[in-house]
Amino acid sequence: MKIKCPCGNLIPDNTDALPTKAHYIPDKYWFSFLDSIDEAIEKSGPSPKDKEKACMGIRKANQHRMMWQCYECGRIFIDDENYELQIFKPESQETNKKIFSK
């Protein structure tokens, strides 16, 4: 997938560990996300299969959404609660255009 920024730049999303991409968890889901981690640690069985099942349970909780930033203009693209992109434009050209890469 590629996101076409209004400035004309293409933002790729075709691999992992991209410097223009981030995952976020809305605050209203933060504690349930932490609880799912606690549960996976506390209730996973001793076998590797049990541990894998616990880890996959956290991944299936899917409480995160995605964000991307255009490295040309600094716009931020955020999935909303319906997983539709919302665009936010920086107020100045001095905005850090690499906020997800550090």
Indicate whether 102 and 69 sit together in one domain: yes
52 & 71 share domain: no
Residue 39: predicted pLDDT: 84
For the chain, give the mean pLDDT: 90
Which of 76, 100, 77, 101 is CA-nearest to residue 90?
A: 76
The C-alpha atoms of residue 74 and residue 46 are separated, in whole angstroms, by 47
For residues 18 and 68, state if they share a domain.
yes
Q: What is the pLDDT of residues 35-60, one digit of tens each?
A: 888 888 887 888 888 888 888 888 87
Same domain, 70 and 101: yes
Q: pLDDT value at position 63?
A: 79
CA separation, residue 62 to residues 4, 25, 30, 72, 101 (Å): 25, 9, 12, 30, 23
Whether 33 and 12 share a structural domain: no
Same domain flag for 36 and 8: no
Radius of gyration of the chain (CA): 17
**What is the structure's pLDDT at 40?**
84
Amino acid at 22: A
40 and 89 both lie in a single domain: no
Same domain, 72 and 83: yes
Q: Can you read off the two tokens belonging to residue 79?
A: 């999935």
Number of domains in the chain: 2
Q: Give the model's pLDDT for residue 43.
A: 79
| pLDDT attached to residue 6 | 97
Instruction: State the pLDDT at residue 73.
Output: 97
> How far is CA 51 from its chain centroid?
24
In a shared domain, residues 32 and 17? no
Q: Are residues 72 and 84 in the same domain?
A: yes
- State which residues form the domain around 57: 26-63
pLDDT at 36: 86
**Per-residue pLDDT at 31 exceeds 90:** yes
